[in-house]
Amino acid sequence: MGNEKSTLNGIEIDEKVIEITDFWTQYSATVQNYNSQKVSVFISEPSLHYTASFGKPTPLERIAKNLMLHRHPCILRYISSWHKGSKYFLCTEEARPLVQVIDAQNALQICVGLYSIACALVFLHEKALASHNNVCSGSIYITPEGCWKLGGFEYLCKFSEATSTYYQKIRNYRYQRATCSNEDINALIDSGNLSSIDVYAFGILAEDILKLKHADNIPALTEFQEFCKENLQNVDASLRCKLTKVLQHPFFTHDFIKIHGFLEELPLKTNEEKEAFFTNLVNDLKAFPEDVVAEQLGRSLLSRIVLLDQTAQVKFLPYVLKPRDENDDIENSVFSTPVFKTYLVPRLLQMFCIRDVSIRLLLLLHFKSYVHTFQTDELKSQILPELLVGIKDTNDHLVCATLKALAEVVSILGAATVIGGKRAKLFTDGRPNKMKERKENKITSTTKNNNTDTIAPIDMNEIELHLPERLSPDGGEDKKESSFAFADEESTWSDWDTHDANVDSNQSNVQNIQQITQIETPNVENVSVSPSSITKNEVNKYTQKIEMSDISQLDIKHSKSMKSTVDDFDFFTDMEPIIKKTHVLHVQEKSIFDVKLSNTTLQESEENGWSEHLGDWDIEDTKELNF
């Protein structure tokens, strides 16, 4: 500790100051890792006045050392510390000074907070065998979850190392109101009652905080205030009770504190005790304001020990992980949606970063109930990446649950965000009614006006007409599947019917050829084309199928693109038309786009060149030719 190599990587300290004291300045900071953790940073420079009295280490260095040694849930959590130039940095969990948020605290929250501070002091006195020596509001910090944490360890002293000289040096730096006027350090050292120093200071702290609060729904509040004056602040240190007995006062033993204490001591409870506790917990929590329950107990209710308890999984967690709306029954949920978003969603975002299969499976089990409480950017940047990690795991149960959760995310973020954009329309709507509607909308209707054929407008977004570069024989026009979507749908639907549809195949194919010829060659006179003008390569070019995207290319699989090759299939193999006679008509002042096959030519082609083979084709073959 104390060298520049221990500096946190990727830490960004905000410019805004949170607190300024005689010995340090507090800032908020962010550690840029996969979860962007928020922390608090305390920065100090050498104080000549303090160094002259105490020498080294500096107060902030003493705090860092004591926080690193004394670990307790109710003590401010140490993360790192380092030197940089003449400055010293201490990084802890994110917390704000109590004095900045005390006005927003109600009596119930203060009760739980004082209980936490008393537990921290009991730990120091009975386990660490040390005295804090500066218990006051300036030494207490509150986390974003509303937990009170004891800090300010610059004056902590082991019982075995206490001397009257040391206490004389620090006397002027301690909170004066929390220092007893006739404090006799030598007598306390001789009697082994140095812990009474913290007991007196705790009584002053409780009085200062509670004097402006009403009883509300906290029992024995008035009695506890009197107890602090008469017992904890007694001038005679020997008459002050231990803090372990203070925790037994009715002010600290009401139902809410019992619930809080049971959750904190859950590993010590028997299975019978835990079953009885979680069975009645939902009804017990409804007796208190839900925002207070969420803020004070949210962390404990979603702790690992609770999540893995079998009784809690069945009788309690389904009511916690299911926020209710305004119209929902209050019996089915503990928290409303606004309270859930404010206090529990930040906790859930942290839990999704935990790579524990038991925790993840439990979160996914109830994912459908609370997925709507996340903001869109939270789902996209934090939840979705973790879910995509889950589908790569070797645990089949985890993969199955993850895929179900991804289905819920698709309805919010869209399929393009969840599985990627490499998709294609691979399915069509084959219902008869839909097929009929599309056919009526996409196929042009021909009407006669003044003995002139008029073609209805064609939706060019749906149908693309590509005329060949040169004239080709009847039936050899440009081939493109998308030109006649209705033929595809009819052939697909016909596959579901019996083979009776092939009885009149010759007649239906001829009708399709006539309709298609009218669409592709509007305003045409009687013109015939020589079949020798088109080559076999051009036929293969127009008959080549369109390559579709394979489903294995979807981004969600993160697989390499697989190139699928489709061999060209020559539909004209062994089907060379034999045209005995070709009539060539010369059209004056007409472009090649104003071409229309005459009925005579079409009939000749059918009779002489195509009739003997057309009867063997089914509707699917007609679609592939795309006349």
- Residue 456 CB contacts under 8 Å (≥ 6 apart), including other chains: 444, 445, 446, 447
Contact 334, 369 (CB under 8 A): no
Report the run of H or E that residue 79 belongs to, with start and end. Answer: strand 78-84
Q: What is the C-alpha to C-alpha distance for residues 625 and 571, in angstroms, rounded to an integer? A: 8
Predicted pLDDT at 330: 66
Q: Which residue, among 206, 208, 209, 70, has the nearest Cα to 151 in the 3D structure?
A: 70
Q: What is the C-alpha to C-alpha distance for residues 30 and 40, in angstroms, rounded to an integer? A: 8
Predicted pLDDT at 525: 42
Predicted pLDDT at 145: 81
Q: What is the DSSP string of 586-612?
A: --TT--TTSEEE-HHHHHHIIIIIIHH
Contact 195, 225 (CB under 8 A): no
- Residue 48 CB contacts under 8 Å (≥ 6 apart), including other chains: none
Question: What are the C-alpha distances in Å from 207 to residues 113, 232, 315?
Answer: 14, 10, 40
Looking only at the bridges linking them, the beta strands covering 140-142 and 96-97 are antiparallel
Given a cut of 70, the residues of the chain with pLDDT beneath it are 1-7, 34-35, 47-55, 213-217, 328-330, 434-627
Predicted pLDDT at 620: 43
Q: How far apart are the first and last CA of the chain?
A: 82
> Which tokens go with 396?
């089949």
Predicted pLDDT at 78: 95
Give the tens place of pLDDT for each residue, 291-336.
Answer: 889 988 888 899 888 999 999 999 999 999 999 887 766 677 899 9
Q: What is the C-alpha to C-alpha distance for residues 471 and 476, in angstroms, rounded to an integer? A: 9
Cα pseudo-dihedral 470, 472, 478, 479, rounded to 10: -150
Contact 18, 40 (CB under 8 A): yes
Q: Whole-prediction pTM value?
A: 0.62
In degrees and rounded to multiples of 5, residue 157 shows phi and psi of -145, 135
Predicted pLDDT at 565: 42
> Which tokens go with 324?
């209710």
Predicted pLDDT at 433: 73
SS3 192: coil
